[in-house]
Structure 1
Amino acid sequence: MPRVLLVWFVLSFGVFAQSPEARRVILFGDSITAGGALPQEERAKLWVTQVQAQSAGDLILINEGKGGRPTNSLPEFEQMLARNEKADALVIALGMNDSRDITSQCVPKAVANVRAMIERARAVYGAKLPVLIVGPSNINKSALGPTKPIANEREAKLRELGAAFEKLAAETQCEFVSLFGVVPDASLHKDGVHPDGAGNTAIAKKMGPSLRALR
């Protein structure tokens, strides 16, 4: 097995010493969580993999990311709950795909969907389940490709979604972290949305402290 793939396997599947008190954290996200846009040789740079490695065995991150996922994926969320009998915390990292809807209904619908996920997860894992809501990351409008005609409107929706998710976090006793402005434009040159390896490192640097503090 090539060294890069071996490193990715080790970091992704937790083949390293774990603390007896390691916390299982589920990450329910989209392609930025799944890392589907990263080439195989850069998979070890996925931000989820980096944060888990940097936790020195204190975090077991269950990557439930999926490309193209919007917040209205409640049936998939239920399936995820059924797959994972135990969780010490939950991260909801969605919104990028919702931002394609530039109507006035985009944000209210997304907030209602995330609220439903929080309520359902706490019904399954306990009322005190720690939850981290992640405000969606920024885009590079100049590289947005087919969706470039609505680049300005989509960016505005991403800002609105972040603000609405922060408010929802306060209302539901959840934690909140925003990724808007975290990824440099140069790391989004491929399609304007998906970060390269350096962009994932920037996300890991932002997300790491929030995940380590989630309890």
Structure 2
Amino acid sequence: MLLLLVTLTIAQPISAAEERRVVMLGDSITAGYGLPQGDALPVRLEKELTDRGLDVAVENAGVSGDTTAGGLSRLDWAVQGAPDLVIVALGGNDGLRGIDPADTRRNMDRIVGRLTERGIPVLVAGMLAPPNMGGDYARAFNAIFPEVAEAHGAAFYPFLLEGVAADPALNQPDGIHPNAEGARLVAERMAEPVARALKGS
């Protein structure tokens, strides 16, 4: 009987026990607007992480057009269970619509706060205000993401679209959404910070 138990234990698939679950809560950039699903950012990020030797499944919880208010309203059903990490990649539509930074800050604080209260590690992906919104708006808006992350002890990635924003070669014709190569580059740049956040969880 003891030999049988040992054999069954050894036979269990190790990868299933070790797989880490990541949820990416975001808007159209996360959802993969204008791209085949195989090129969506969460798919690309999963590949980058697995290429680094991590057994990870990245779930796409992106909704096109979502603001931080929308992300907050759907948080409980969008992030179910206890993932190993949630990447909060919201705020771009708040900036595009000129939403009061105080409202964006309040929503981000509630999102990150509720996740950390559930014991879920969080990585906040920062956004930058569109340049046409003016300096005062940009200063108030841009400060939200690092400050909310710091307040809750969350990991922080300074700018989701670093190296991709405003580059016509890396964006779709609308100038806002990354094309396939842009999404690949975003994932490549994010992979190491996400891996560090996972290792700390």
Please indicate, yes or no, whether the TM-score normalized by the shorter chain is above 0.5: yes
2:90 pairs with 1:94? yes
Amino acid at match of 1:201: R
Unaligned runs of 5+ in 1: 1-16, 140-150
1:121 is aligned, of 115, 118, 137, to 115
Cα distance change on mapping 1:80 and 1:155 into 2, 3 Å: farther
Counterpart Cα distance in 2 of 1:31 and 1:63 = 11
Counterpart Cα distance in 1 of 2:22 and 2:136 = 30
Partner of 2:176, secondary structure, is: coil
Amino acid at match of 2:185: A
Cα distance change on mapping 1:176 and 1:37 into 2, 3 Å: same
Partner of 1:183, secondary structure, is: coil
Rg larger in structure = 2
What's the CA shift for 1:120?
Answer: 1.6
Cα distance change on mapping 1:182 and 1:49 into 2, 3 Å: same
2:29 pairs with 1:35? no
Partner of 2:143, secondary structure, is: helix
Amino acid at match of 2:125: V
Cα distance change on mapping 1:22 and 1:69 into 2, 3 Å: same
Counterpart Cα distance in 1 of 2:190 and 2:23 = 14
| TM-score normalised according to structure 1 size | 0.73
Partner of 1:213, secondary structure, is: helix
Further displaced range: 202-211 or 72-81: 72-81
1:182 is aligned, of 153, 163, 168, to 163
What's the CA shift for 1:77?
Answer: 1.2
Equivalent pairs counted in the alignment come to 178
The aligned counterpart of 1:77 is 75
Counterpart Cα distance in 1 of 2:123 and 2:137 = 20
2:123 pairs with 1:111? no
Identity %: 26
The aligned counterpart of 1:20 is 17
Structure 1 runs (4+) deviating above 4 angstroms are 154-160
